[in-house]
Structure 1
Amino acid sequence: MKIDFNKNKDGLVPAIIQDASTKNVLMLGYMNKESYEQTIATKKVTFFSRSKKRLWKKGEESGNILNLVDIKSDCDHDALLITVDPVGPTCHTGSDTCWDQENKSSFGFLSQLEEVIRNRKENQEDSKSYVASLFRKGMNKIAQKVGEEAVEVVIEAKDDNEELFLNESADLLFHYLILLQAKGYTLKDVEEVLKSRV
């Protein structure tokens, strides 16, 4: 990989550290050529510490190491994106990230939708929403709706109307998210099961 360590007078390039699984940014460090080569050789992320003026393997004292997954250079070859499998919290403060955020999976819009469903579940008596009405009708009705939507997806999969297939797929996913919440689970729980099978 081409990396321009000579672009700056100090011979350092910024290294953005990202969790390979959650895709969250964990920290920013700096690497020189030697720390980069040591990272490649050991598969443990090693930085050049600007304060200590020496190589510094993340977790050398705390044990909270960063196992290397992949390294990419940016278009100018003067910054790195390093994906890792972290062991323990990344920040020296004990936080998961150096931005004091929990390093948990986020499913983008689906996580937002889960939050809406959770809110409707918790406030079902005060809500006239469709989701709240399903929660009021109970588990049998929610499970029945998932079954109905699954059958409709299968039917549309065998036809050629892609728009109907995608709409039924959206309905199935939506009702499945409701069922997960009714059972006390989220997509994160399903993700953990799938990860354990890899």
Structure 2
Amino acid sequence: MRDAMPALDWDKGGGLLPAIVQDARTQRVLMLGYMSRESLAATHETGLVTFFSRSRQRLWTKGEYSGHHLKLVAIEIDCDADALLVTAEPQGPTCHLGRDSCFGGARGSALAELDRVVESRAAAMPEGSYTTRLLAGGIRRIAQKVGEEGVETALAAVVEEDAALLGEAADLAYHLLVLLRARGLGLSDLEQVLRTRSA
């Protein structure tokens, strides 16, 4: 977070600021909580997102009972300095109902979700998984598949309808994510390069 903590408008909300929590990888909105000065300081000190529980009237670290903590990535202050956007890495479901998000219909980046699935397949290498088969085939085989999918995407752009082009582009994106993962990289690494190019 920027050096703007002293400028936060604590008075407007009676000493509490609404804090929207977003998955750092998928950008999916996970939950809304409230932070006090003390819970914000605890979040920075521990690296675990901590709120002020209005019902219990005490500090509450997300996951203190379930173990499903939110690991802090960054905190942004809104333009009025009276709300926070917390980006975090969820360590399990965020919602007490066992869902990833307290907002059931909230969607994140489908590409980031796919990257997460590819990462989990690469770690577990489950039998019968196409991703497992690709990874077991090695870099050369995966690179060949990326090349094939790239050609099919280019051809679809020239001679097919939009639906076919989008289908081929989705296949290309999947195989590219597998190729990155085979090299120990992921979507976040690619995004970092894109951010430097757009600066």
Q: TM-score category by the smaller chain?
A: 0.5 to 0.7
Contact 2:18-2:82 within 8 A present in 1 as well:
yes
| Structure-2 change in CA distance of 1:94 and 1:102 (3 Å) | farther
**What percentage of residue pairs aligned between the two structures are identical?**
44
Unaligned runs of 5+ in 2: 113-146, 187-199
Code of the residue aligned with 1:178 in structure 2: it is E
What is the CA-CA distance between 1:79 and the residue it aligns to? Answer: 0.1
Partner of 1:76: 80
Partner of 2:185: 197
Task: List structure 1 segments (4+ residues) > 3 angstroms apart after TM superposition.
Answer: 101-105, 143-146, 174-177, 186-196
What is the CA-CA distance between 1:106 and the residue it aligns to? Answer: 2.0
Partner of 1:63: 67
**In the alignment, structure 1 residue 6 sits paired with structure 2 residue 11:** yes
CA distance in 1, matches of 2:25, 2:72: 12
**In the alignment, structure 1 residue 17 sits paired with structure 2 residue 21:** yes
Q: Per-residue displacement from partner, 1:104-139 (whole Å, max 9, x unpaired)?
A: 63259xxxxxxxxxxxxxxxxxxxxxxxxxxxxxxx
What is the CA-CA distance between 1:103 and the residue it aligns to? Answer: 6.6
For normalisation by structure 1, the TM-score amounts to 0.59
For the residue of structure 2 that corresponds to 1:75, the secondary structure is coil
CA distance in 2, matches of 1:192, 1:41: 36
Bigger radius of gyration among the two: 1
> How much is the aligned-residue C-alpha RMSD, in angstroms?
3.5
| Structure-2 change in CA distance of 1:73 and 1:189 (3 Å) | farther
For normalisation by structure 2, the TM-score amounts to 0.59
Contact 1:95-1:102 within 8 A present in 2 as well:
no
Contact 2:63-2:70 within 8 A present in 1 as well:
yes
CA distance in 1, matches of 2:153, 2:168: 13
CA distance in 2, matches of 1:105, 1:34: 32
Q: Provide the aligned length of Structure 1 versus Structure 2.
A: 142
Contact 2:29-2:106 within 8 A present in 1 as well:
no
2:35 to 31, 36, 44: 31
Q: Per-residue displacement from partner, 1:145-192 (whole Å, max 9, x unpaired)?
A: 843766x9xxxxxxxxxxxxxx88xx9xx75842765xxxx8467546
